[in-house]
Chain A
């Protein structure tokens, strides 16, 4: 199985901040990486796929980068609706795996 290390687990930030979340793989996965956002009591939603492609309807302040083993999710200007938990997920090989999650909270 591919192990994923997502960091940080908790991120305290203010509206307007630029934030970055990291996801590191135990082995290369090309660009088979997705990012999801989950708000309390809701199902996760797809933000980014293929490491850097924005899902339709997702604001352009979200961006993804990386390939191989190191990936980053960036929110360029944090908005109030962005306070949530974010997960990375690899779909390169079975079993599919998720990162541990990053909770973005209000500072």
Chain B
């Protein structure tokens, strides 16, 4: 079964760093892009960026460029989303997503992780 399994919920203080993960299984991890989507409480979906684990080619939304870092470790089939200094406004659910086709990022996202809730509060 193809799936993306994300790390558990996090509660952090403003200014702290954080790295959440997304482990792919049931498919060739290095052949599919993996992206991240933010959903703030009660709000809509926002595309953050995407990485190709095969060569670490990464694209960011301008809204998130410089605010987060997307990376991947193909040896353990895991993608990451990290912050160096969290803000209260980073409080949200974060989903990792996989496009439908190998090698392509011009596809809809047919596989979604279960989500990781990040809460930033003093």
Contact = CB atoms under 8 A, between A and B. Distances in A.
Given A1-B62, A94-B59, A95-B62, A46 B108 contact: yes
Contact of B112 (A45, A96, A98, A99): A45
Given A87-B44, A87-B45, A46 B63 contact: no
Interface string B91-122: 00001000110000111111011110000000
B44 A89 contact: no
Contacts of A89: 45, 47, 108-109
A98 B108 contact: no
A99 B61 CA distance: 15
Interface residues of B, number: 26
Interface residues of A, number: 24
B35 interface: yes
A45 B113 CA distance: 10
Overall SS of chain A's interface: loop
Interface in A61-92: 87, 89, 91-92
Given A43-B95, A44-B45, 11 more contacts: A32-B106, A36-B45, A43-B112, A43-B114, A49-B110, A87-B45, A89-B45, A94-B59, A94-B61, A98-B45, A100-B44
The 10 A-B residue pairs with the shortest CB-CB distance, nearest first, are A34-B108, A95-B61, A49-B108, A43-B112, A96-B47, A98-B45, A101-B44, A46-B110, A94-B59, A100-B44
Interface of B: 35, 37, 44-47, 49-50, 59-63, 95, 99-100, 105-110, 112-115
